[in-house]
A and B are shown apart, each in its own frame.
Chain A
Amino acid sequence: MSVTRSRPEDGGSPPLRGPSASERIYLFLASLRFTMLVLSFIAASCVVGTLIKQQAPPEEYLSRFSEGTYVFLRFLGLTDVFHAPWFLVLAGLFVVNLVFCTVERLSRLLKSATEIKVPNEKTLSSMGQTFFLPGKRVEDAAKAFKGYRQAGSDGRGLVLEKGRISQYGVYVIHTSIIVILAGCFIGLMTGFRGSMTLAKGETKDSFMRRGSSQAAAPLGFAIRCDDFKVSFYPNGEPKDYVSSIAIIDHGRRVEEAQVRVNHPLTYKGMSIYQASYGSDPIFRFAIDGKEVSLSQGSVFRADGLTLMVVRFEKSIHTFGPGVQVAYLEGSEQQTSWFLRDVPRLREKEIGGVHVRLQDVSDNFYTGLEIAHDPGVWVVWAGCAMILCGLFMNFFLFYRRIYLLQTSSGILVAGTSPKNKEAFREEFEKWRAIAHGIE
């Protein structure tokens, strides 16, 4: 996107001796040909990374490919392209190329900015856009071009320019890409993600960390779910889900917040997101007249009675919800179904104790996503920079006006390397103004 058309390979004056091997390698790594090569490879890897499902469990691949193909794909890293070592190497080569190319071209641009000369009359006339101002001094004529600043002069004429900053836009963009990639790298090396579920009233100080080793990891503080609410649209789709959570650090409630989708909470570098929700059935029994709430799998023990809910069906035939309970009769294990909506089948004597299924209700739990990414602020800084760079490069443009004292008056010529059409209009305006002054 630089305005210079010359290539790094053939820039400058031809050297007397051939470049050394290291110079040749440097020039290749800084060349645009290398950029295009690396970018094409990255784009191709991205295509592969979307056509083959990524990071899926082995069974999923084996259901689609033969075992040999799967082993081969895994070996090449094609089942996890974006974390494969060769992909990181590609990204690294891209950064090297970007740094070298930027340094190479920026130094050339800075050098050319200090060496602006007024071309001769013939070159200027061939620029296409010229007009004559008869009999004035170039210094006086230059004042008419508002918004332009003098970039160079010699005895015969002046060079005026505008929008020089746009020349640097491309380097700002390149630098921001490096900054963004650095932020990504920091995140990749030091960040982690995971999830946790919390039922209403539950407190947890660890979460399930995602990655190669899925394991519970400490949060460094505890999260308590004070409340959780889901609201639905009339068509049954979820409208909003909100967790009222409290952060408990060293035994003290330090922060309370409502976490909802698009509105995370960050505490001590850990961001907490509303990700999902679910519900577990809760079974209320009256055992010997006493109310007991059991969830699936939890065991109830009292006075020689041991029972556990092993299975739950939302509806058994047309009889409504049913709960299968396992209990010990002496030392022998027995099971029995309790049907909530069938009076005869909702209660039973077990070992002389009266057990009655009172109700089945849903206990909602919230699914929170936990993320720690110290690189994210670097990424945001890069994004802010790239916005500036994009503006400089795509919304401003560089133009030059030359004023040359000739025998028949001042020759005015102009050029803009990147936006010829817009400049042509501007130049016509200057022509009209200049002729109006006379």
Chain B
Amino acid sequence: MELNSRILGVVTLLYLLLFFIHLLYLATKKEGIYRAVWLLLYVTFGLHSVGLAVRWVESYRLGMGHAPLSNFYESLIFYAWCISLIVIIMKKRLYIPLITAFASLAALAFMGYASLSPSVDRHIQPLIPALQSNWLHVHVFTCFIAYAAFAVSFLCGVFHLFPWKGIIPPKTKLEELNYRSVMVGFPMLSVGILTGAVWANFAWGSYWTWDPKETWSLITWIIYALFLHARFARGWKGTRIAVLSVVGFASVIFTYFGVNFVLTGLHSYGAS
């Protein structure tokens, strides 16, 4: 077993531990435990980054030499990394146990799926010529940061829809957090689509081909554009905005997974 797989295995267990400590906190409500959660989150994120870096280095040793962003397995572990990154970047706003608990659960789910599913190839694979470009890094990074921010928005939307008084944070706070994360995700998705277009023009000879992945990223972009306009220009609040963020994330998930599994197209690198 390669070193990166071992490190990423430990990281998966750490996300599991993180979720359990959250449960412990929610049961006892001791502030000290939540501080320990954050400490462990930093450690997990650090080790996760090391795991990605080692995988990158090991790909050079195998004579391929590419960033770990090239297939479905790598995209899953990168998505989990991006979720942690967003939580850490937005620490001041996201110092909310319920949100960090579900964020670590999401990271755990993606890591677990990546390392356990028999349909996911975990080997470092060579980079096909179309992916051999520096645009790969900026395109994938911006898209996945956007996906991670939209995941936070989704959590806020879902909690908003559940009437659990006392357990969920105040609704005004959720609302503020919801549109804050869309304010991060939307420009990132826009940059992701633009860099994708520039890259496509170099690789495929056209900046837009209505490939299913492109089309679905446009659908996602439109939904979040509607979200921002509804919020800022029409003053939508409460349930309607929460529903929009859930619909938006459903579109994100379809853009990420659905297109790979249900539809076929040029953009099927993430599928194997």
Q: B199: nearest residue on chain A (CB-CB)? A: A262
**Interface assignment of A309: CB less than 8 Å from any CB of chain B:** no
Interface centre among A43, A241, A390 (most CB of B within 10 A): A43
A193-B205 contact given A40-B226, A49-B210, A241-B129, CB 8 Å threshold: yes
Q: A371: nearest residue on chain B (CB-CB)? A: B205
**Interface assignment of A369: CB less than 8 Å from any CB of chain B:** yes
**Interface assignment of A238: CB less than 8 Å from any CB of chain B:** yes
Q: Which residues in window 356-395 of A have CB below 8 A to B?
A: 369-371, 373, 376, 379-380, 383, 386-387, 390-391, 393-395
Shortest Cβ distance from A85 into chain B, in angstroms? 16
**Interface assignment of B93: CB less than 8 Å from any CB of chain A:** yes
Cβ-defined partner of A263 (8 Å) among B186, B197, B202, B207: B202
Q: Mark A166-181, 1 if CB is under 8 A from B, else 0.
A: 0000000000000000
Establish whether residues A35 and B197, one from each chain, have CB atoms under 8 Å apart when the complex forms. Answer: no
Establish whether residues B216 and A1, one from each chain, have CB atoms under 8 Å apart when the complex forms. Answer: no
**Interface assignment of B166: CB less than 8 Å from any CB of chain A:** no
When A and B form their complex, what is the total count of cross-chain residue pairs whose Cβ atoms lie within 8 Å?
119
Which residues from chain A contact B205 at a C-beta distance below 8 Å?
193, 264, 271, 273, 275, 369-371
A193-B206 contact given A262-B132, A383-B197, CB 8 Å threshold: yes
Q: Which residues in window 38-56 of A have CB below 8 A to B?
A: 39-40, 42-43, 46-47, 49-51, 54
Shortest Cβ distance from B130 into chain A, in angstroms? 6
Q: How far is the CA of A383 from the CA of B197 in the complex (A)?
A: 10
A2-B232 contact given A49-B215, A233-B64, CB 8 Å threshold: yes
**Interface assignment of A7: CB less than 8 Å from any CB of chain B:** yes
Q: Mark B51-79, 1 if CB is under 8 A from A, else 0.
A: 00000000000011000000000000000
Q: Mark B224-244, 1 if CB is under 8 A from A, else 0.
A: 011011101111000000000
Which residues from chain A contact B263 at a C-beta distance below 8 Å?
50-51
Q: Which residues in window 154-213 of B have CB below 8 A to A?
A: 176, 180, 183-184, 186-187, 190-191, 194, 197-198, 201-208, 210, 212
Q: How many of A's residues come within 8 Å of B, CB to CB?
A: 57
Which residues from chain A contact B183 at a C-beta distance below 8 Å?
394
Establish whether residues A36 and B176, one from each chain, have CB atoms under 8 Å apart when the complex forms. Answer: no
**Interface assignment of A239: CB less than 8 Å from any CB of chain B:** yes
**Interface assignment of B1: CB less than 8 Å from any CB of chain A:** no
Establish whether residues B204 and A273, one from each chain, have CB atoms under 8 Å apart when the complex forms. Answer: yes
Q: How far is the CA of A275 from the CA of B202 in the complex (A)?
A: 11
Which residues from chain A contact B235 at a C-beta distance below 8 Å?
5
Establish whether residues A35 and B229, one from each chain, have CB atoms under 8 Å apart when the complex forms. Answer: yes
Q: Which residues in window 124-154 of B have CB below 8 A to A?
A: 125-126, 128-130, 132-133
Which residues from chain A contact B232 at a C-beta distance below 8 Å?
1-3, 5, 418
Q: How far is the CA of A420 from the CA of B125 in the complex (A)?
A: 47
**Interface assignment of B218: CB less than 8 Å from any CB of chain A:** yes
Establish whether residues B201 and A376, one from each chain, have CB atoms under 8 Å apart when the complex forms. Answer: yes
| CB-CB nearest 3 A-B residue pairs | A261-B129, A233-B126, A273-B205
Residues on B facing A (Cβ under 8 Å): 63-64, 93, 125-126, 128-130, 132-133, 176, 180, 183-184, 186-187, 190-191, 194, 197-198, 201-208, 210, 212, 215-216, 218-219, 222-223, 225-226, 228-230, 232-235, 259, 263
